[in-house]
Structures are given as structure tokens and as C-alpha cells.
Chain A
Amino acid sequence: MNARALLFILTLVVCHGTQAEAGVMDRLRGLLSFGGGKSKTEEPKKIMPRIRVGSFSGGTGASAQQALRQELLDSREFFVAGADEKADYLVEGTSSGGRVTGKLRDGKGKDLFQRSYAAPGLDENLKALTDDVIYTITGRPGLATSRIVFVSNVSGKRQIYICDAEGGEVHQVTHDKHGAVAPSLSPDSSMIAFTSYRSGFPIIRLLDLNVGWERGVTDTPGSSFGSAFSPDGTHLAAVMSFIGNPEIFVSDLNTNTAACVSDSVGAPSSPSWHPDGRQIVFSSDDGDGPKLYIVEVPQKEGESSRLYRWRTGYHFCTDPEWSPDGRHIAFTTRTSGEWTVAIKSYPNGGVQVVQAGGAEHPSWSPNGHFITYVQHGELFVHDLRSGNRRSILRGYGHISEPRWMR
């Protein structure tokens, strides 16, 4: 290589490096790490805690014991020990008429919790007990009671639906005149923010799933869409265009005030919060295809914030969503002319293609082990640890925009 070519490459590397963006530097790091050794983001293999399902007394005790064992196995969070095997934790209790009382002890016999579950069905009570066991032992939320919201046109118009993590218990949430789209669940899954077309114009509304009341968040001219709850559920990030440009706004749900956090000349969309509530990733098309940007959310009035492009190595990136631990961002891109779901480590690291062939709009499970997405109108859940995936809802109209509760 001659001296001129070497200097040109050096110039390029220096230029990219000073912009504090990934891209070339990441790709170089990736190339350098091919020689061997673990990547920085790779976690050491963890040993699964061992749990034993003890006896459940009462009329539905035997069914409860069997079903709970299956729920814990399906969670893939534990090694479920047999009756005579040693375990780190023991769960036992009573069940009659579908009600369940569960008690969790550690290996030394210390009580960790005892709770009763009195929902109308045995299955529902056991799912709640499973999630409590998972959260107490691992500190991560379980999926048995988690919900996924999505849009489907099965009724003839695009409306919002909710289902469990297995694609069961599907309920229609909105019945808006011209349809409703772009749903987002609050962190405690008690509220849904969505874009409603009931007035004929796209406005953002909030629906309380427990008591059923609904209220508008934005009724500004232009369009409002792409809402995303902050991790503490007090703020909503969304795209609004009333100022004459589509921009990302953060609305305080208590005071109904909004602040613009982006500075776009193009078409921003799909904001998603970092779990610390201090940064938002979004997609923006400034005329050469949508790319991903990160903006710091000002914590005080008048505070300046940094906005920068986050390079993924792809030219078309939409629907970004931060993982629950903040260490990865999933997004939709395009490979070989088809939609593809990919994940990139944040802030730096390689890109992993999760699913190509038309997969789009990824959303993380609360424990970060799974991703849901749609492919050709079908809803999938993808296990990131094993790489296995399964269709959880098909033949339910054309499904789009799934969001897992956070």
C-alpha cells in the first residue's frame, strides 16, 4: 500500500472517531476481535437455580402442582428438580376451587414469601405465582402474566388487541370509528397509549385497562403518533407535527405539558426510552432513508441535550426498541430487499440478525430473553438464547406493531 492510500485511510478513521459514533470504529474492533477470545458483551454462562415443586394440598392441589411445575419449566429460568432431588428453592402450598396459596422457601428453609391468588381460574393464579417466584429468585419479571399489544385488521379496520405471551386470551381493546394504531403499554401494563382516528385525524389517547376510562393526550393539529411510555410511566414520548415539522416531544402526563427534544429536518418516528429514562432512541429520515438517532432527555428546564446519530451499519433502520437492561437495541432493517429484525449492542458492538425474510417491528420481553415481531402479518416470539422461534398468533387478520409490556 502506498503512503497516500495509508494516509487517506487514517484520515477516514480519524474523522469517524471524532464524531463519537459507532460505524467504522466498531467494524474495525469487530475485525480485530475475530482472532479469538470473548467479546466484551458476552456474558459468562450462569448456573440455573434449582427449584422443586413440593406438595399442594386441597381439592385442586394435584392439578396445581403439575401445572406449576410445567409453568416453571416453560419459563426456562430454573432447573426444576424431581421430588427426591436437592434444590435451592422449594415452592409448595394449597389449592382448592382454583384458588392458590403458594409459599416459597430457600434451601435453608427460610420463608421468602407466602401469597394467595384468588383470580377466577386456576391457570391464571398459577401464572401469577410463577411470575412472583421468578421475580423473587432472579429479580427479573416473569412472562406468565405479561401481555403483548398489537394492531390487527381482523375486524375490517385496524384496531388494537391484547394477548398473553403465548398468543392466548386475545381481547379487542379499541373500537374506534376509523381505527386505532401504534399502541404502547405502560410499565405496569395498566394503561395503553395509542393513536386514534376516531375524529378522522391522528391523535394520541390513553386508555386505562383497569377502570376503562379514556382521555386524549394530544389534540394538536397535524399528526401525533409513535407514543412510548417512559420507564416510570410518568412521561410519554411521541411524534407531533403542530410546529410545522414532525419532531419528538416528551409529554408530562401529570401536567399535560410537552417539550420538543429532537431537531429534525426530516421524518422522525418510533421513539423508545432507555431504561434509565434519560435517553431516547428514534428513527429519522433526513432524505436518504431512516437512520437511528439518540437524544438525551433534559432532566431540568433549560438543560441542553446531546443528539447524535447511532450507526448500525445499515442504511434503513426503523422501529428501534431498547432492551430492558439498556445494553442492546433491536430494530427493523432491510436485507436482500426484505424486512429483517436485528439487534445491536449499545453503545458499541456487533449487529446480530435475529430474523430476516420479512420480520419487522421487534419488541423485547420484560426479562430480555425473548423478542416478539411480526412476519407477513403473523405474530412470533423468538427465544434469543436458543434461537428458536414460534408463531403465537396466525390467521388473525394482518397483525402489525406488536409491543410487549415493559
Chain B
Amino acid sequence: MNAAPPMMNRPAAILSSTLLSCLLLTSCSSMKMPAFLRNPSSEAVVYALGPRDGFTSPLNGSLKPACPALVFENADFQLTSAHQQAVNSLAQEMIQNKKARLLVAGYTAPNLPPDHARSLSERRALAVRQRLIELGLEAANVQTVGFGNDFSPTGPSSDVVVIYRQN
């Protein structure tokens, strides 16, 4: 006859599992997050910006947008599927011309604190640049600028990233 395995009583089981999770959680600050939980974008290779010589600012002349403006909502800087789609089509078009250069400019709505707005708009512009490079554009040919809410772009929304074609 088989003997029943020894069972831990219920309160002791709860106590030991809580202590175990407590220990795990307290060591979180020194533990590296497992790869499958990490945000893939935070681990991606970040491409430094090349020299800006020869690039024209939209403040100095009327530049032609390379595609419709990418509208951001909820003060976010992650690219949505709509953004990805627009950037993919642009990359397919641009990749034919190896000399083509783009300036990715970020703008935000006027109701954000100015310095935060500058950083957020630059972060969005860099996210778009990163995606363009991942899709095959040369890093040296894509520059960014974050105008925050210091300047408003033309168009119905001001919380946007506009990709300008450079001559």
C-alpha cells in the first residue's frame, strides 16, 4: 500500500510562498530582467547622429514633407502600427535612392511644459529615425530635431513628427 506524501498545512504553505515572493521581489533591483520580459526597443542598437552639415531646418525654408505627418497621442513616444506602416512605405520608397536624406522633426502640443515638450518631441523623432535605419536607410542620411512646442507645424494637429525631404 502506498503511503500518502507528506502535506504542508495551508497557512504554512501561504507563509512560505509569500516569503519566497518577498525575497524575489526585494532582490528585483539587483536582478537583470529576463530577456523575454525586456522591452525590445531598449536593447536595440542605437545609432548616433552624423554631422548635420548640409541639412536645412524647416525654420529656414519651406521643406517638403516626405509623407503625411505621424500623429502621436497621449504624450507617448512609441511607434504605433499606423506609424510603422507609414514609415515602412517611406523606407521602401527612399531605399532606392542611396543619397536621399531626411530630417525627422518632432513637435508637441502647446499645453506641455516647454522643456519636457522638447525632449519628448526629440525622443519621438529619434524613434522614427531608429525605425528608418532598421528598415535600411543609412544612419548618416537621417537627422532629427525636437522643436517641442516652440514652433507649430502647419496642419491640423501639433502633436506630430514630420519627416522632411532634404535637397
A residues apposed to B, CB below 8 Å: 3-4, 7-8, 10-11, 14-15, 18-19, 151, 158, 178-179, 181-182, 195, 197, 199-202, 220-223, 225-226, 239, 241-246, 265-270, 283, 285, 287, 289-290, 318-319, 332, 339, 360-361, 400-401
> Which single member of A225, A267, A360 contacts B123 (CB below 8 Å)?
A267
Bound Cα distance from A225 to B25, whole angstroms:
38
Closest Cβ of chain A to B57, distance in Å, is 3
On chain B, which size bracket covers the interface?
Answer: 35 or more
Q: A-B pairs with the 9 shortest C-beta distances?
A: A200-B57, A221-B49, A244-B46, A267-B119, A269-B119, A267-B123, A200-B59, A221-B52, A200-B60
- Is B87 an interface position by the 8 A CB rule? no
Bound Cα distance from A393 to B60, whole angstroms:
32
Closest Cβ of chain A to B148, distance in Å, is 8
Not counting A287-B77, A290-B116, a sample of 7 additional A-B residue pairs whose C-beta atoms are within 8 angstroms of each other reads A182-B118, A202-B145, A221-B144, A267-B119, A270-B113, A270-B116, A319-B113
Chain B residue with Cβ nearest A15: B25
Whether A182 and B115, one on each chain, are in contact in the complex, defined by CB atoms closer than 8 angstroms, is: yes
Whether B120 and A11, one on each chain, are in contact in the complex, defined by CB atoms closer than 8 angstroms, is: no
Whether A158 and B46, one on each chain, are in contact in the complex, defined by CB atoms closer than 8 angstroms, is: no
> Which single member of A8, A151, A225, A266 contacts B118 (CB below 8 Å)?
A225
Closest Cβ of chain B to A29, distance in Å, is 20
> Which single member of B14, B56, B122 contacts A222 (CB below 8 Å)?
B122
- Is B158 an interface position by the 8 A CB rule? no
Bound Cα distance from A239 to B116, whole angstroms:
11
Q: Collect the chain A residues with CB atoms within 8 Å of residue B126's CB.
A: 222, 241, 244-246
Q: Collect the chain A residues with CB atoms within 8 Å of residue B11's CB.
A: 3
- Is B15 an interface position by the 8 A CB rule? yes
How does the 8 Å CB contact mask read for B117-132 relative to A, with 1 for contact and 0 for none?
0111011001001100
Bound Cα distance from A3 to B60, whole angstroms:
68
Highest count of chain A CB atoms <10 Å: which of B29, B120, B146: B146
Whether A244 and B130, one on each chain, are in contact in the complex, defined by CB atoms closer than 8 angstroms, is: yes
- List 12 A-B pairs, Cβ < 8 Å: A8-B18, A11-B18, A182-B114, A242-B49, A246-B122, A265-B39, A269-B113, A270-B115, A285-B116, A319-B115, A400-B114, A401-B115
Closest Cβ of chain B to A387, distance in Å, is 24
Bound Cα distance from A225 to B122, whole angstroms:
11
Highest count of chain A CB atoms <10 Å: which of B22, B52, B118: B118
From known contacts A221-B52, A241-B126, A318-B113, infer whether A202 and B77 are also in contact, taking CB-CB under 8 Å.
no
Closest Cβ of chain B to A86, distance in Å, is 50
Bound Cα distance from A214 to B42, whole angstroms:
38
Q: Collect the chain B residues with CB atoms within 8 Å of residue A225's CB.
A: 115, 118-119, 146, 148
B residues apposed to A, CB below 8 Å: 11, 14-15, 18, 21-22, 25-26, 28-29, 39, 41-42, 46-52, 56-60, 75-78, 113-116, 118-120, 122-123, 126, 129-130, 143-148, 150-151
From known contacts A11-B18, A202-B147, A221-B52, infer whether A246 and B123 are also in contact, taking CB-CB under 8 Å.
yes
Bound Cα distance from A393 to B156, whole angstroms:
33
Whether B49 and A222, one on each chain, are in contact in the complex, defined by CB atoms closer than 8 angstroms, is: yes
Q: Collect the chain A residues with CB atoms within 8 Å of residue B116's CB.
A: 267, 269-270, 283, 285, 290, 318-319
> Which single member of A3, A265, A319 contacts B14 (CB below 8 Å)?
A3
Q: Collect the chain A residues with CB atoms within 8 Å of residue B42's CB.
A: 265
Whether B25 and A285, one on each chain, are in contact in the complex, defined by CB atoms closer than 8 angstroms, is: no
> Which single member of A202, A287, A318, A319 contacts B78 (CB below 8 Å)?
A287
Bound Cα distance from A281 to B143, whole angstroms:
29
Closest Cβ of chain A to B151, distance in Å, is 8
Bound Cα distance from A360 to B122, whole angstroms:
22
> Which single member of A3, A178, A226 contacts B119 (CB below 8 Å)?
A226
From known contacts A11-B21, A19-B29, A267-B77, infer whether A221 and B119 are also in contact, taking CB-CB under 8 Å.
no
Q: Collect the chain A residues with CB atoms within 8 Å of residue B50's CB.
A: 221
Bound Cα distance from A227 to B116, whole angstroms:
13
Q: Collect the chain A residues with CB atoms within 8 Å of residue B115's CB.
A: 182, 225-226, 239, 269-270, 283, 318-319, 401
Bound Cα distance from A265 to B129, whole angstroms:
15
Chain A residue with Cβ nearest B103: A201
From known contacts A197-B150, A332-B113, infer whether A244 and B57 are also in contact, taking CB-CB under 8 Å.
no
Q: Collect the chain B residues with CB atoms within 8 Å of residue A401's CB.
A: 114-115
Whether B118 and A226, one on each chain, are in contact in the complex, defined by CB atoms closer than 8 angstroms, is: yes
Highest count of chain A CB atoms <10 Å: which of B51, B113, B126, B145: B113
Q: Collect the chain B residues with CB atoms within 8 Å of residue A7's CB.
A: 14-15, 18
Whether A199 and B118, one on each chain, are in contact in the complex, defined by CB atoms closer than 8 angstroms, is: no
Closest Cβ of chain A to B93, distance in Å, is 24
Whether A287 and B76, one on each chain, are in contact in the complex, defined by CB atoms closer than 8 angstroms, is: yes
Bound Cα distance from A281 to B50, whole angstroms:
29
Whether A223 and B150, one on each chain, are in contact in the complex, defined by CB atoms closer than 8 angstroms, is: no
Bound Cα distance from A232 to B114, whole angstroms:
26
